[in-house]
Structure 1
């Protein structure tokens, strides 16, 4: 009987110490979360803040004529190289993969919401302007008529069109 009581006392002592240490750790972590750098690493919600959804969410239009119409996440963009007939070394990248080259002065891209579009014209040492000539009606960004400019050469030859946003 005495030995059972001794084992119970040891278990109770271990449990009490565990509870006290856990409470201290919680208080210390909460105190550290007041500082901005610690909050970023300790809070999962802070790390997710500002991240975009990969694919656009299609909302349901309950008042329209075509209630069951499915809207495509795909869109098209027509990009024109201003003042040049062709730029065969200018590469269009979608999500860091080569998709097309400017073999003529304009190209048509099929893109999806969330795709990142860039133009690599580092081969050319002269400034080159690219214009968004046309877009599909379901595209929010980039807009028709926007102009992007590369400064030419290795340092300024990359043109960031940006992430595609579909309505």
Structure 2
């Protein structure tokens, strides 16, 4: 049993656990990061019609809330960055899609690009992952991966007429 008394470390009585665990998507027994990213797609679809400033404002809010929720949840679990914490994947994917064209092919491309950057962890993602502690560190590597994926996606959108 985990310190919180729940086998997975998830405590349904704590709001920060709900957020950090991506509203349960991080409880997937296999590939919780991928499951968390998939779970972020409906939120993206809900937010995508918003004007860009509102979308970005919510993204900043989600990042700040994530720093708090992931920090507290990781501390509760006694781990630096538990794989079940997937709010960082949610925010990273939403950042990936910040300027993406509409359509399911772009969502799929954004999903693949974000997962590649998140798993591969090229510089500077790897530096943030290793060197930045706490909730900021949990969030930052995925935000950087999301920004890198967003750049690739935006460049692709200039040349690929889908």
For Structure 1 versus Structure 2, the TM-score category normalised by the shorter chain is: under 0.3
**Greater strand proportion:** 1
Higher helix proportion (structure 1 or 2)? 2
Specify the structure having the higher radius of gyration (Cα). 1
